[in-house]
């Protein structure tokens, strides 16, 4: 299976039809043009979009923390924010496992592009993402939350991650391109764990924050490895 990027005839650019491109870009660009803005720099459909935003309400809600089986309910200044962000990381780690599963299939399809030890390392990272999912679920339960409930942040990153999952599962995406998708996911993961640790400490849950810091150290290793692999395979792809 040849997974390299090739140069072939591509008709998506305007250079394939310069005369039509000129008429498309010619002024005046009226309100039929998707990027036309008025003298305040606003798009033609801004009023309509603003109406949607004001009418739409919110992306769900955070479930009330329950006191059961001796669980301590979340405390701190804004406990609902911490619960929301815990639900958010939980949803993203789930997506992370699915992304690694799909990436490992790409590795098999690409034959010997990666060394056996590198594929084993990716499988190890996949298992760590699954452990992070469990870690977050237990932290949510410890704080009196319901790890099966979808929080607004969980809803949001579920939709965000759908694009990553779609790109990763595109059978035409090369191994280098698939590693690039995984690298993007790890960038989000690292930044988001940092914020979650900050929120957890601010809420007074030092022991949980310490467990999260161990997860962040693993995520940092994922990021470094993915960056090296993306660089190497992209250069060899070229």
- Positions that interact with Fe ion (CB under 5 A): 186, 189, 219, 222
Instruction: Compare residues 84 and 186 and give the one whose CB is closer to Fe ion.
Output: 186
Least distance CB 107 / Fe ion (angstroms): 16
Instruction: Compare residues 3 and 136 and give the one whose CB is closer to Fe ion.
Output: 136
Long-range contacts of 61-69 (CB under 8 A, 24+ apart): 61/152, 62/87, 62/151, 62/152, 63/145, 63/146, 63/149, 63/151, 65/143, 65/144, 65/145, 66/144, 66/145, 66/146, 67/144, 68/144
Residue 43's beta-bridge partner residues?
37
Instruction: Compare residues 174 and 192 and give the one whose CB is closer to Fe ion.
Output: 192
Least distance CB 96 / Fe ion (angstroms): 6
Residue 37's beta-bridge partner residues?
43
Instruction: Compare residues 74 and 85 and give the one whose CB is closer to Fe ion.
Output: 85
Q: Which residues contact 112 (CB under 8 A, 6 or more apart)?
A: none
Least distance CB 228 / Fe ion (angstroms): 15
Least distance CB 29 / Fe ion (angstroms): 44
Closest CA to 103 of 87, 118, 86, 82: 118
Least distance CB 93 / Fe ion (angstroms): 8
Instruction: Compare residues 82 and 97 and give the one whose CB is closer to Fe ion.
Output: 97
């Amino acid at each position: 299976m040849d997974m390299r990027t090739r140069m072939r005839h591509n008709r998506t650019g305007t250079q394939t039809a310069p005369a039509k491109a000129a008429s498309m870009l010619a002024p005046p660009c009226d309100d039929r043009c998707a990027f036309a803005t008025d003298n305040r720099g606003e798009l033609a459909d801004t009023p309509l979009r603003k109406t949607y935003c004001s009418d739409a309400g919110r992306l769900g809600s955070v479930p009330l923390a329950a006191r059961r089986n001796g669980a301590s309910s979340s405390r701190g200044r804004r406990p609902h924010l911490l619960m929301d962000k815990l639900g958010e990381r939980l949803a993203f780690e789930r997506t992370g496992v699915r992304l690694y599963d799909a990436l490992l299939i790409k590795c098999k399809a690409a034959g010997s592009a990666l060394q056996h030890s590198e594929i084993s390392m990716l499988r190890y990272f996949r298992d760590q993402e699954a452990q992070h999912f469990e870690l977050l679920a237990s932290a949510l339960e410890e704080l009196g939350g319901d790890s099966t409930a979808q929080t607004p942040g969980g809803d949001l990153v579920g939709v965000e991650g759908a694009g990553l999952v779609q790109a990763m599962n595109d059978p035409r995406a090369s191994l280098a391109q698939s590693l690039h998708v995984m690298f993007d996911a790890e960038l989000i993961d690292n930044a988001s764990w940092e914020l979650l640790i900050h929120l957890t400490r601010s809420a007074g849950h030092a022991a949980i924050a310490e467990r999260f810091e161990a997860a962040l150290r693993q995520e940092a290793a994922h990021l470094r490895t993915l960056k090296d692999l993306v660089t190497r395979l992209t250069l060899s792809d070229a």
